[in-house]
Amino acid sequence: MKCPTCLIELSKKEYNGIEVDECIKCGGMWFEAQEVDQLEDTVLNQDEFKNTMITHVRDSEKNCPKCEQRMKKFNYRWEDLELDYCAKSDGYWLDKGEEKRITEIITQQANDLDRKFRIEEQWSNNLKGLQSPSIISKIRNLIGL
């Protein structure tokens, strides 16, 4: 496969336990379709809590290194991170540093999720503390029953 930016042959590399193809010239990396999920899972392995991944799809200037068809680009998870992907689901092209931004975004989501759960637990505990005894219980306490 060739780099969609530099058009030179990609080399195999291990990144966070994932075998990817990297351009030694520009530092971009090709992730197979499931490998971006694996990258996210290094930070947050609970897919049910991750938000939408692909938004604002438009045409890319790059061709897929695998099928050589024109790729699409999108904003990753509603963020300002623009990634290229193969419309045939072959994978994702990440320019240098974009793999780090993915883990930063997922880390922030994980932190936000932890904070949300803590706040919900505090709110629940506060609500339990606000529950007052029934009027009957108050009367019984007043008359000593």
Residue 94 is predicted with a pLDDT of 97
Beta carbons of 81 and 75 less than 8 angstroms apart: yes
pLDDT for the residue 88: 94
> Token pair for residue 92?
């994702």
Which residue in the block uniquely carries the two structure tokens 């990817």?
A: 20
Distances (CA, A) of 126 to 20, 37, 112, 115, 137: 49, 37, 21, 16, 21
Distance of alpha carbon 75 from alpha carbon 77, whole angstroms: 6
- pLDDT tens for each residue of 114-131: 666 677 777 666 666 555
Dump pLDDT digits (tens) for 130-143: 555 666 676 776 77
Instruction: Quote the CA–CA distance of 4 and 15 in Å, as a whole number.
Output: 19
pLDDT band at 51 (very low <50, low <70, confident <90, very high): low
Binning pLDDT at 50, 70 and 90, where does residue 64 land? very high
Among candidate residues 52, 55, 62, 49, the one with its CA nearest the CA of residue 92 = 62
**If you ran DSSP here, which 8-state letter would residue 51 be given?**
-
Task: Note the pLDDT tens digit of each residue in 90-104.
Answer: 999 999 999 999 999
Q: What confidence tier does 41 reach under pLDDT thresholds 50, 70, 90? A: confident
Beta-bridge partners for 59: 72
Q: In the predicted model, what is the mean pLDDT of the chain?
A: 84
pTM above threshold 0.75: no
pLDDT number for residue 128: 64
Model pLDDT, residue 65: 97
Evaluate if residue 69 carries a pLDDT over 90.
Answer: yes
Residue 128: both structure tokens together = 């339990």
